[in-house]
Amino acid sequence: MPSSAILNHAARILKTVQAGTPADQALRESLVRTRHYSAPAERRAISRAVFAYFRWWRWLEPKDSLQKQLEAARTLQARFDKNPASFKPEALAARAVPEWFSETIFWPEVGAVAPNGPRALEGKRPYPTEVALLRQLQREPALWIRAKQGLAAKVAASLGHCAPAELGVPLSALSSQLSARAYTGLTDLYRTPEFQAGEFEIQDLASQLVGLACAPQPGETWWDACAGEGGKSMHLSDLMQNKGLLWVSDRSERRLAKLKERAARAKVFNFRAAPWQGDAKLPTKTKFDGVLVDAPCSGIGTWQRNPHARWTTRPTDVHELAAVQARLLDHAAGSLKPGGRLVYAVCTLTRAETTAIADAFTAAHPDFEPALVFSAQHSALSTQFFLWPHELNANGMFIAAWRRK
């Protein structure tokens, strides 16, 4: 497909986005329609162009045609990939993210000294973490897969183009528990026999680490309270070696239906699904060894993968979602057995949805004590842990854990 055809196709997708469809959905729908006559490399070029447009949106000239803007975005992406330092950190801070970004994020540099927010250190921005994060947000994201336990080497050998995850300190000891691979090939993974046989899932590395933070044991009873389409549920079941019982719930019955399809493909049988609206009426009276609350959130940790969301997420979303998160955690916590493990996860990095939620929960629940997020790690923040995109080459995530006394 010539470059002009790729830009024309990408421009058509942008028109759908301008009419109100989120970019990831518009891309998925458009590319599925062309699956039978376009090559994977062409579909990939189209999605790269669309995502480059949203990554470099504030550098583009809106009066230009969409094709011309897409071309300019691709050129900016190539320049950045070759030499990230050719973009000043101040320019990235001002243009790669919305204005409210910096003051809502938990920056480690100010986290401990400025309880009222990073404004206290204004003038010293961008912080080193901010620069590293912004640079990561401007890169194209890695594609991670999770093989079933024991199948990583086999799956990697048959797919090819797979590299294992190498975690740095303090998580390096977890590398051996992961069956994650970064896939750099061009094959449509959903169509491979290995995927169809349930041997692997496409799952971000940060999400895989949430499974390890839960660390469910075979024979235990767990509840994945915001299971959605089951990305983490499938991992929990695999870690439980399909033994014991996994309750999965979500307020979206459509998502639970997808979860069931996924479970059938992955040959996951040890689960029971029930809708839950997040209120005090729980889906079951069962008391659990462990509960995962993978709560709905502002999703800032996914802004590298889905740059359109930078321009559609509003600061008011953060506060509305924080109220939902606190409520979900509060209600779900009542279903734990004494000694049970509660894990809270969000794929975002705002203070309001991370440390503020975890600290408020600890203060309001003297029957819960904070617990290590990862058994292999012993840092000061070890009961609340941020996974940073620039450290992991994956989504950003916050995880907190407690044990019911």
Ligand X SMILES: C[S@@+](CC[C@H](N)C(=O)[O-])C[C@H]1O[C@@H](n2cnc3c(N)ncnc32)[C@H](O)[C@@H]1O
The residues assigned a catalytic role are: 347
Q: How do strand 245-250 and strand 288-294 relate by DSSP bridges?
A: unpaired
Nearer to ligand X, 95 or 251 (CB): 251
Buried b (16+ CB within 10 A) or exposed e, 1-29: eeeeebbebbbebbebbeeebebbebbee
- Least separation in angstroms between CB 157 and ligand X: 27
Using alpha carbons only, what angle is made at residue 183 by residues 182 and 188, rounded to the nearest 5 degrees?
150
| 247 neighbors 288 (Cβ within 8 angstroms) | yes
Answer for the pair 348, 295: CB distance below 8 angstroms, yes or no.
no
Q: 158: Cβ–Cβ under 8 A, 6 or more apart, which residues?
A: 192, 194
The single residue listed with the structure tokens 């890695």 is 142
Q: What is the H or E stretch that residue 402 is in?
A: strand 397-404
User: Looking at 24, 238, 250, 353, which residue binds ligand X (CB under 6 A)?
Assistant: 250
CA distance 202 to 308: 21
Rounded-to-integer distance, Cα 65 and Cα 63, Å: 7
Least distance in Å: CB of 255 to ligand X? 5
Please identify the residue of the shown chain whose CB is closest to the bound ligand X: 278
Contact 127, 107 (CB under 8 A): yes
Q: How far is the CB of 204 from ligand X (least distance, A)?
A: 9
- Asked if residue 331 binds ligand X (CB under 6 A), the reply is no
Q: Which is nearer to ligand X, 71 or 353 (CB)?
A: 353
Residue of 44, 48, 58, 251 that binds ligand X (CB under 6 A): 251
Q: Which of residues 154-193 bind ligand X (CB under 6 A)?
A: none
**162 closest CA partner among 187, 185, 191:** 185
List phi, psi (to 5°) of 287: -100, 135
Does position 238 interact with ligand X (CB under 6 A)? The reply is no
Minimum CB–partner distance for residue 295 and ligand X (Å): 6
Report how far residue 329's alpha carbon sits from residue 199's, in angstroms, rounded to the nearest whole number: 32
Determine if 324 is a binding residue for ligand X (CB under 6 A): yes
CB of 201 to ligand X, least distance (A): 10
Asked if 389 and 395 count as a contact pair (C-beta separation under 8 A), the reply is yes
Should residue 25 be labelled a site residue for ligand X when binding is judged by CB under 6 A?
A: no
The residue among 252 and 312 lying less far from ligand X, judged by its C-beta, is 252
Of 67, 175, 252, 393, the one binding ligand X by CB under 6 A: 252
Instruction: For the CB of residue 319, give the shortest distance to ligand X in the complex, in Å.
Output: 15
Q: By CB under 6 A, is residue 296 in contact with ligand X?
A: yes
241: burial class by Cβ within 10 Å (0-12, 13-18, 19+)? Answer: middle
Span interacting with ligand X, options 12-20, 44-52, 192-200, 274-282, rule CB under 6 A: 274-282
Q: Which is nearer to ligand X, 299 or 340 (CB)?
A: 299
Interacting positions 215-234 with ligand X (CB under 6 A): 226-232
- Residue 289 as a binder of ligand X (CB under 6 A): the answer is no
Stretch that binds ligand X, among 104-112, 136-144, 190-198, 244-252 (CB under 6 A): 244-252
E strand map for 81-171 = 143-147, 162-164
Applying CB under 6 A, among 95, 255, 258, 365 the residue interacting with ligand X is 255
- Which one of residues 89, 216, 278, 389 is an interface residue with ligand X (CB under 6 A)? 278
Q: How far is the CB of 122 from ligand X (least distance, A)?
A: 32
Q: Which residues bind ligand X (CB under 6 A)?
A: 207, 226-232, 250-252, 255, 276-278, 294, 296, 324, 328
